[in-house]
Amino acid sequence: MTNLWNRLTPRRKSLLVTALVALTTLAAGYGVARLGTQGNSADAASADCEDVLYWYDPMVPGQHFDKPGKSPFMDMQLVPKCAGEEAPAGLRIDPGLIQNFGIRTSTAEYGILEPEITVTGVLAYNGRDVAIVQPRAGGYVQRTYGRAPDDVVARGAPIADILVPEWGGAQEEYLAVARTGNSELAAAARERMRLQGMPESLISSVARSGRSHSTITVTAPISGAITALGVRPGMTVTSGQTLAEITGFSPIWLEADVPEAQASSVRVGQPIQASLTAFPEDRFGGRIIAILPATQAASRTITVRAELPNPGGRLKPGMFAQVSLMPERREALLIPSEAVIRTGRRTIVMLKQDAGGFAPAEVRIGREANGRIEVLAGLAPGEEVVTSGQFLLDSEASLTGLDIRPVDAASGEDGSDGGARAQDDDSATFSATGTIEKIGERSVTLRHGPVPRLNWPAMTMAFAVEDSAQLRGLKRGDRVRFTFTQSGAGPRIASITKVDQ
């Protein structure tokens, strides 16, 4: 053979090599084609079932097709879904791989959540401590004591001296009548002065001194700041005209903006702590006295009003404050915040099961603080949730089409439903999700997931219905959420509704 090869020309050697390569490629292609045909035949044979519900792409399990063929999503054949196949109860991962995947868990347990909400606020005048200064009679302003807006005055401080000519005449008349000794006329003259607006102290002073006093000094009825001043020397004023407005600031108001999402955490009477830029070393305590009804559209906040003691007047309206709102302490079922997966439509967690199993469960959550979050429904004390690696498990659960345990299906150690005590089993209502396999006149056959409260695994079984109208609009293959009662006569549907695939 070697001699023959040596006698060939270079051109003939090239042609011979090319022919051998072509024959080899042809033989390999034929073998692969035969192997693929045999594999497809084997797959088709293994997938044969008496009743195919639908066909689906394992990578997009939520999309169903009426006939076999190639997936429009992936380069692969559609897979049949056979009637009677039980939905997978959960994911199974080799315990040796759990550490490699970085999966960590935490136990749901009761505890005290102490969320402290910190917001910003501004000190303001006490709007409930406002006095309007008005004269009781018209006259002329003789003196204003140098008052100006924003001056701080004490109660009883003079605001203005007003000459009231009418009072002078009434007082002289009273003095003349009093000198006659006629007590009835004197009493009538005294009542006339009172009706003209003279204070009792002025009338008594006139009676004692025997001289008229036609000038009245208007004083501040409360302590506070002059927030409005409308009187000047030489002015003519009328009865009831506003000369000044005085607003108190002891106690002082603190108005803080609380995010709308945290509005449920504040209430009237709730204690607060304020730290002011002017006094960084001090903490000022107070209580919420009002929650204003309007929401700020631009910032999506509500305004809460608190009252702070201010005996020495250290706190001034307009000062900036950091406010800590302390909601009431309450015990709740708590899990780490990182365990929660928010999909936009619902909130779920991944539950750890026995022997390396994991399953998704829907939960309803409440307040969040210090890395923990309240679970209002959907979990029972003692259940373990995945806190690291849960997104990997959630993706795998979506690909395999795992049912998500509904909120009302959580069971505690005593068989109760998510922290609420269960009723007697003869009258209790249970819930599950499943797929309709068959609809009868007075029954429906459902392929459903586990029912933990009854220790039922995933199975296919018939449920009685009270009225065929309960099944109106439903058909075979529909995904449904249903509630039922369990008695000696067997399970009976209480409600059944179609859900999105």
Query: Within a domain: residue 121?
Result: no
User: How many distinct structural domains can be found in the chain?
Assistant: 6
- pLDDT tens for each residue of 461-473: 888 888 778 888 8
Strand partners, 255: 122, 305
Q: Of the segments 5-9, 109-113, 231-235, which one has the largest average pLDDT value?
A: 231-235
- pLDDT tens for each residue of 3-47: 555 565 666 656 555 555 445 544 444 443 343 333 444 343 344
pTM as predicted: 0.48
Amino acid at site 361: A
Among 59-63, 204-208, 323-327, 451-455, name the one with the lowest average pLDDT.
Answer: 59-63
> Stretch 369-385: mean pLDDT, rounded?
82
Domain that holds residue 79: 49-83
In this structure, the answer to whether residues 241 and 187 fall within a common structural domain is: yes
SS (H, E, C) 49-111: CCCEEEEEECCEEEEEECCCCECCCCCCECEEEECCCCCCCCEECCHHHHCCCCCEEEECEEE
**CATH number of domain containing 436:** 2.40.50.320
3-state secondary structure of 410: coil
Q: Is it the case that residue 219 has pLDDT exceeding 60?
A: yes
Q: Is it the case that residue 162 has pLDDT exceeding 80?
A: yes
In this structure, the answer to whether residues 303 and 339 fall within a common structural domain is: no
In this structure, the answer to whether residues 41 and 12 fall within a common structural domain is: yes
Q: 377-397 burial by CB neighbour count: b if 16+ within 10 A, else e?
A: bbbbbebbbbbebbebbbeeb
Q: Over the Cα atoms of the chain, what is R_g?
A: 43
- pLDDT tens for each residue of 475-486: 888 888 888 887
pLDDT (0 to 100) of residue 333 = 84
The candidate with the shortest Cα–Cα distance to 375, out of 423, 419, 320, is 419
The token pair that represents 173 in the structure block: 């008349």
Q: Of the segments 273-277, 344-348, 485-489, which one has the largest average pLDDT value?
A: 273-277
The residues, any chain, with a CB within 8 Å of residue 323's CB and separated by 6 or more, are 118, 119, 120, 121, 254, 256, 272, 273, 274, 306
Amino acid at site 475: K
Domain boundary (247, 270, 299) is at 247
Q: Is it the case that residue 430 has pLDDT exceeding 50?
A: yes
> Stretch 164-175: mean pLDDT, rounded?
85
Q: Give 3-state DSSP helix, strand, coil % of the chain, rounded to 5.
A: 25, 40, 35
In this structure, the answer to whether residues 35 and 55 fall within a common structural domain is: no
Q: Please, how many CA atoms are within 13 Å of residue 169, restricted to the half-sphere of its CB?
A: 4
pLDDT (0 to 100) of residue 37 = 38
Query: Within a domain: residue 398?
Result: no
- Asked if residue 255 lies in contact with residue 303, where contact means CB atoms within 8 angstroms, the answer is yes
What dihedral angle (degrees, nearest 10) is formed by the CA atoms of 291, 297, 299, 303? -10
Residue length of the chain: 501
In this structure, the answer to whether residues 148 and 40 fall within a common structural domain is: no
- CA distances to 87, 344, 380, 404, 436 from 394, in Å: 16, 14, 20, 10, 25
